[in-house]
Structure 1
Amino acid sequence: MLQQINKKIIFYISLIIILSTFNNKNLKNFDLLKINMIDVEGIEFSDNEFLKIANLIKLNNILSIQKSQIKEILNSNNFIEEYEVFKRYPSSIEIKVKKTNFLASTNINGKNYFVGSNGKFINTKDYSKNLPFVFGNFEPEKFLEFKSIIHQTNFKYNNIKNFYHFPSGRWDIEMTSGVLIKLPISGIKESLNLSIELLNDIEFSNIKILDIRQKNQIFTND
Structure 2
Amino acid sequence: MIAKKNYVVLFFLFLILTTYAPKNTFFSTFFKIKEIVLSNNSEENLENIFKDLEIILGKNITFLSEKDFEFIINKHPIIKEIKIKKIYPSKVELDINQKKVIGIIIDKKEKKIITDKNEILKLRRYYDFGKLPFIYGGSDEFIKLYNLLNEINFPIEKIKVFYYFEIGRWDLELINNKLIKLPPKNVRFSLQNFIENYESNNFEKFDFFDYRIKNELIIR
The yes-or-no answer on 1:44 pairing with 2:30 is: no
Residues 86 and 177 (structure 1), Cα distance of their counterparts in 2 relative to 1, 3 Å cut:
same
| 8 Å CA contact retained: 1:113, 1:127 | no
> Which position in structure 2 is the counterpart of 1:202?
202
CA contact (8 A) 2:180 2:208 kept: yes
Letter in 2 for 1:63: T
Q: Does 1:27 align with 2:30?
A: no
Aligned length: 192
Amino acid at match of 2:210: L
CA contact (8 A) 1:36 1:92 kept: yes
Q: Deviations over 1:35-75 (max 9, x none)?
A: 33322344324576135444xx63xx233333122144135
Amino acid at match of 1:152: E
In structure 1, what is the Cα distance between the partners aligned to 2:92 and 2:20? 23
CA radius of gyration, larger in: 2
Contact 2:82 2:94 in 1 (8 A): yes
Q: Distance in 1 between matches of 2:128 and 2:91?
A: 38
User: RMSD across aligned C-alpha pairs, in angstroms?
Assistant: 4.2
Q: Conserved in 1, the CA contact under 8 Å of 2:37 and 2:92?
A: yes
Residue identity over aligned pairs, in percent, reads: 21
Please report the TM-score for the alignment, with normalisation by the length of structure 1. Answer: 0.60
TM-score of the superposed pair, with normalisation by structure 2: 0.61
Q: Deviations over 1:76-135 (max 9, x none)?
A: 324545532223334332212245666444423324456566854546779989543221
Unaligned stretches of 5+ in structure 1?
1-20
Q: Confirm whether residue 178 of structure 1 aligns to residue 178 of structure 2.
A: yes
1:164 aligns with 2:163: yes
Query: Cα–Cα, structure 1 residues 165 and 81, in superposed 2: closer, same or farther, change >3 Å?
Result: farther
What's 2:11 paired with?
none
CA distance in 2, matches of 1:206, 1:179: 9
